[in-house]
Structure 1
Amino acid sequence: MSRKKRVLQKRFVIFCEGDTEYNYIDKMRKKQGVELVLKPINMHGGGYSNFLQKIKTESQSNYLAKFIVVDADRLATVQGELEAFKKLLEYCRIQNAKGNTPHFIIMDNPDFEYVACLHSPDYHGQDSHKYIQSVLGFKNIASFKGNTDIYNYLNSGELSYQTMLDTLCGKEKLLFNI
C-alpha cells in the first residue's frame, strides 16, 4: 500500500497595515480560492519600521512571494516615516537581488479609503472620506473601517475591483518593484 502523495500548495504571505485591508484581502482570498497567509501588522506606534522588523523575522521558506501592503499617506505626514520606508524598500530590493523569496510593496496612495472609492465607476477623485459617507453610504469612516465584509460590499452592484484595476492601470506609479 503506497502513501498518499502530498500536494504542495502555492502560498503567498501578505503583510497588511490594518484591519480594513486584512478584511478585504481575506474575503478576496476566499472568493478567488487562492492560498494566502495573511499577517496583519498594526502600524500604530511602529510605522514602516514595524513592518520591516516583522518581515525580517518571518520565515523565508514556504512562500512563493511576500506582499507588503501599506498606505503612502504616512510618508509625508509622520515624522521619520520617509526614512523608515526607505529602509523597508532597500531591504526588499536586497532580498529580491539575492534571489530569495520575492518581496513586493503595494502602496495605497494615499490610503485604502481612496482605493475603496476606485471600485465605483462614478468616483472621479473627490474627497475619499466624504465619498465613502455620501455615496457609499457609511455613517462615518470608523464604520467603513469596521466593516468586516468590506470586500463583498465593494464588489456588489456597480462596485467592482475590476473598475479599480482599470482605473489604476492608467495612473502614474509611485513605486516600482524591481
Structure 2
Amino acid sequence: MIPIGAAVVVALLAAGAVSAVWYRVPDRLRSGIPCSDAEARFAAALGRDPLLTQPPPGVTPVSKPPAAEVYQPCEGNGSSSYYGGALRGFTMPSTDRGVAAARAYYRRLTVADGWTVTVRANGDILGTKTIDGTAVVCDVRDMRRADPVHHVRYTAYWIELRYRRLGSHRPMLQTPEDTT
C-alpha cells in the first residue's frame, strides 16, 4: 500500500505533466479553428486599415515598430478566446482637448469609411461593417488611464478591428474582456 502523502505527490506530478502537455498543444488544435492563408491575408489587410495607420496629428503609436498586431482566430487572443483581427495602440498629450479631437477624428474617419457607428456612454467608439463578406467590428477605447503607482496620468487608446472567422455574418460586439 502507498502512503497517502506519496499518492498525493504522484497525483500532483501527473496533473502538472498533463497541464504542461496541454499548454504545448498549438492554439490551432485547442481552438478547433484551422489556420489558413485566407485568414492570415484578411487579418493582415485589417492591419493596414486607415483606422490603424492614419492617426490624427500629434498622436504616436505605443509600440515600435509602429505596426498593428494582427492575429487569426486559430491563434487565440488570451483568455482562451479565439477571434481574428488587428490591434494598435496610440498615445497622445493628456488634455481634454486632445481627447475630444481624437474622438472627433475617429468618429469622422469611421463614418466616412462606411462603418455603422455608435458612441458608448464612456466615449468609446464602436463600429460595425461587412468587409469581403465578413462582419468586422471597430472598437476605439480607453482614451484615459491613470498610473496609481507612479502618480502619472496619461492618455492612450487602442483601436481593434476584430471578427469571429472568415464569412461570419454576426459581428463580435464585445471582447472577452468586456464580458468579465
How does the TM-score come out when normalised to structure 1? Answer: 0.29
How does the TM-score come out when normalised to structure 2? Answer: 0.28
Higher strand share: 2
- Bigger Cα Rg: 2
> Which structure has the higher relative contact order (CA within 8 Å, separation 6+)?
1
Higher helix share: 1
